[in-house]
Chain A
Amino acid sequence: MAAYETIAFDAAKCTGCGDCMSACAQVKTGSFEHASSRIQILPSANDGFELALCRQCGDPGCVSVCPAAALEKDGTTGVVAWDGTKCVNCLLCTVGCTYAGIAFDARAGHVTKCDLCGGDPACVTACSEGALRHVRSARIYSHYGELEDLFVPGLSGCQGCNTELLIRHVLRAVGPETVVAAPPGCIPGMGTVGYNGKTGTKVPVFHPLLTNTASMLAGVRRTYKRKGRDVTALALAGDGGTADVGFQSLSGAAERGEEILYVCVDNEGYMNTGMQRSGCTPYGAWTSTTPVGERSHGKAQEAKNLPLLMMMHRCAYVATASTAFMEDLYEKLAAAIEAAKHGFAYLHIYSPCTSGWRFPSQANIEVARKAVETGFVALWEYTPASGLRFTRSVDDLRPVDEYLEAVGKYRHLDAAQVAHIQAHLKKDLGLLKELSARGAQADPRALAT
């Protein structure tokens, strides 16, 4: 399984000091000449800086244009490697790369490029501002790749749906000593539970009712605990069955501290049955039961803040996550798996719906990312011991319009509705910030007084 690592650049933090270039040149050539550095920080058009560096692409343009097979993506390390013994100095690669990640070095007499210093890039170490970050998320993908995929190939989700990604990765992490509950919705609709005697899952899986996922799992978990067997009780549920009709059983199980790993895949409505509203559908959103017409303009009410409600139950672990931030998601998944051994763990994963939200199927991750970058979705985690903690800063957010414009179900919004959403976000984030500031003292209920 090919690893994939890269160096990420945060332009907002870059001061243009050049330490990264000095470090690179020093490590690679022994000089401090910036011209010999394989990372180049250049002034950008808007008074800031931008990066010219190899991204170690998954499908590298330099490799495909090289006529001499001198460039190759290493199947083990993921690094795009240059082989001087094959290079014919045609420089086609410098044109093939869109990132200026490979360039001719006059002193060396051939092209040079970043090789990630064998896994410990000198430039990242040298950057005192935190503008450069060595991203190893692909290492996690590799690790996950080694774990058994517990769903069959070819689930029948909609094109571009990220739920298949979610369920495969969650199950890989949880492992085979698991019983999976998939209440009616997209997840069993993809064939996980199955049809007419056939199933799509390699571990025990069942359809609870839309209403009783947490209760049925409580019975499973407690029975195995009584028998001395450590079996994970895992819910893969949609937001409708979680926030609306299944909320009583969820709340009861959380209050009793049932040892369940409950993953709510929030696509903001009943998408499997044709996009009806749920308690998690946001204000202003079009759904088939909050249509846009002369007298109504999408959903008139705010969404229920489900993860916050679960935090109010003082669950062993509560977190929000997004498929655009997989590293964050994996860390939370690991924490949730651990917490579910002694209490109720609740993971709320925002999952844009290509079909129901009306955006192109290739834009799923982009939409998910914009939701986080605009603060429409905040990433945080909670434990009773340490309280609420943001896992991604909610300062310096982008305006919410950028997110709303990417999603067709908000196409009809007028300026007043957008302003309403922006104001509401501010209020919601304010509450989360207040909780986060309380840290370990956070008794969520104290807020009411």
Chain B
Amino acid sequence: MSALPQARPQHVVCDGNEAAAWGVVLSRPDMVAVYPITPQTSLVEALAQFAADGVLDAEMVAAEGEHSVLSVLQGACLAGARTYTATSGPGLAFMFEPYIRTPGLRLPMVMSLVTRDTLSPQCVWGGHQDAMSVREIGWIQMYCETVQEILDTVIMAFKIAEHRDVMLPVNVCHDGNYLSFGVCRVDLPESSGVDAFLGQPDTNWHVALDPDRPMGVDPLTGGGGGPGPALFARYRKGQCRGMQNALGVIEDVHRGFRARFGRGHAPLIEEYRLDDAEYAIVTIGSMTGAAKDAVDEARRLGQRAGLIKVKTYRPFPLQAMAQAIAKVKAVGVVDRSVSFGWNCGPLHQDVLGTLATLPQRVAAVSFIGGLAGADLTPAHFARALQTTAQALAGAPPLAPVWLNEDDR
């Protein structure tokens, strides 16, 4: 392995895509396979340049499409490699076949999902529709709020994925446009510190394609008789257990990261001005900054408003979410995607599910905004807060409120 350049700056000014690439460099994967797609492209370009400069010592595969990207990495991971890739919207759709298989193989890969709205209407801009469409597949999903959080979460994601109680692939989601191209000052952790934090790759102790340990990988399993049904149920249950174990591991890893690097992020749910709040909005991803500004403004006006931000979406942090929601009497959930057939956002559904575990009644309103790159401003969140406050008194609207529908 080549060392990082000695004269490496402690800070860089870069956008979210380059921050993710720095996170990859520091995590020292053995293999990176990529295919460019908007708005992830500059991430791929940054990795290619890092590899060309010798900053990133990984086997680079410029595959002919996302389907192969993930397939190459599956083979590599089964041979013991630490692996990384990144994609967006249609790229995710194209890699769906190997994507849906990865969690069942228990392969601890890390993939940045630079979130993008889905076609059609034809669009190239940010939104969560791609990520939300695969929320039940078995990948861990963590959504970043800032450029710094992207870098830090990419590093943490390898430790979470490779934890022996987890062994599942992780999507580090960062919003297309707002985070992918938003430029900030970013602190780089010491590479030796990251090496010590992550340890050596540990990806195929459980299943391997290795002539030294010959085995049949993924033979047909299941069917209506013999050992199949019980075996299949055992595999599925194990996968569910890994997903639930991840909640604790994600918290531990965030705690460990803060202890080592002196900087941290809420691992599952972040509560913002919630303790004495009457009502709150629930956010996810980069929208949270503007939403916090709107909460501050409401507070200045004497409103008892608060905010709940979701960092880890899958596995869903039910307990943390229930504890947070139990503090208020009404919530407004802001989604950057749609759950077709439920007439609300997908995060809203999860909140409804959480409410069913609480003894008290909490009013809930679904807001949908930020689709296809639409901006969610403090003014949009002021409206969301106001509507949620109104739900305290009367019945909440049954249909979702579309935050950008009156934008001019």
Interface residues of A (CB under 8 A from B): 176-179, 188, 193-209, 211-212, 214-224, 226-227, 231, 248-249, 251-253, 255-256
Contact = CB atoms under 8 A, between A and B. Distances in A.
B79 to A, nearest CB: 4
B81 A223 contact: yes
A209 B217 CA distance: 12
B64 A219 contact: no
B175 interface: no
A209 B101 CA distance: 9
Contacts of B98: 209, 212
Residue of A188, A201, A209, A220 with most partner-chain B CB within 10 A: A220
Nearest to B220: A195
A216 B97 CA distance: 13
B33 interface: yes
A180 B80 CA distance: 16
Given A219-B76, A219-B77, A249-B64, 7 more contacts: A177-B211, A196-B227, A196-B231, A209-B101, A215-B75, A226-B30, A255-B64
> What are the 10 closest A-B residue pairs judged by CB atoms, nearest first?
A199-B216, A219-B75, A252-B64, A194-B219, A212-B71, A215-B71, A219-B76, A206-B217, A216-B75, A223-B79
Contacts of A200: 216
Nearest to A213: B71
B65 interface: yes
10 contacts: A204-B211, A204-B214, A209-B101, A215-B67, A216-B72, A223-B79, A226-B30, A248-B64, A249-B64, A256-B61
B230 to A, nearest CB: 9
Given A204-B208, A215-B67, A196 B59 contact: no
A202 B214 contact: yes
Contact of B220 (A196, A211, A220, A231): A196
A251 B33 CA distance: 16
B211 A196 contact: no
Nearest to A203: B214
B31 interface: yes
B220 A193 contact: yes
Contacts of B31: 219, 222-223, 226
Contacts of A221: 75
Interface in B35-80: 59, 61-65, 67-68, 71-80
B76 A220 contact: yes
B218 interface: yes
Contact of B65 (A196, A214, A216, A252): A252
A118 B65 CA distance: 59
B210 interface: yes
A205 B81 contact: no
B226 interface: yes
B397 interface: no
B223 interface: yes
Contacts of A201: 214, 216
Contacts of A219: 31, 33, 61, 71-79, 81
B13 interface: no
Interface residues of B, number: 44
Contact of B211 (A188, A203, A209): A203
Given A178-B211, A204-B208, A206-B209, A193 B216 contact: yes
Nearest to A195: B220
A217 B208 contact: no
Nearest to A182: B216
Contacts of B75: 215-221, 223
A177 B63 CA distance: 26
Contacts of B59: 222-223, 226
A197 B67 contact: no
A249 to B, nearest CB: 5
A232 to B, nearest CB: 9
B123 interface: no
B379 interface: no
A208 B70 CA distance: 12
Residue of B31, B220, B231 with most partner-chain A CB within 10 A: B220
Contacts of B221: 195-197
Given A219-B77, A219-B81, A227-B80, A204 B220 contact: no
Nearest to B207: A206
A252 B71 CA distance: 12
Given A194-B219, A199-B215, A215-B67, A222 B227 contact: no
A188 B221 CA distance: 13
A98 B57 CA distance: 70
A248 B227 CA distance: 36
B65 A248 contact: yes
B228 interface: yes
Nearest to A245: B97
A252 B219 contact: no
A446 B208 CA distance: 44
B211 A223 contact: no
Contacts of A199: 215-216, 219
A215 B71 CA distance: 5
Nearest to B95: A212
A390 to B, nearest CB: 32
B201 to A, nearest CB: 10
Residue of A194, A206, A214, A223 with most partner-chain B CB within 10 A: A223
A216 B219 contact: no
Contacts of A197: 219, 221, 227, 231
Contact of A212 (B62, B68, B209, B231): B68
A178 B77 CA distance: 16
B219 A193 contact: yes
B72 A218 contact: yes
Contacts of B30: 223, 226
Contact of A204 (B61, B64, B71, B215): B215
Contacts of A211: 67, 71, 97
Given A223-B75, A224-B79, A207 B226 contact: no
Contacts of B214: 176, 201-205
Contacts of A252: 63-65, 68
A220 B81 CA distance: 9
Contacts of A198: 216, 219
Contacts of B71: 208-209, 211-212, 215-216, 219, 249
Nearest to A212: B71
Nearest to A178: B211
B65 A206 contact: no
Contacts of A196: 219-223, 226-228, 231
Nearest to B215: A204
A205 B214 CA distance: 8
Given A193-B219, A204-B211, A218 B74 contact: no
Contacts of B222: 196
A223 B80 contact: yes
Contacts of A231: 79, 211
A251 B64 contact: yes
Contacts of B80: 223, 227
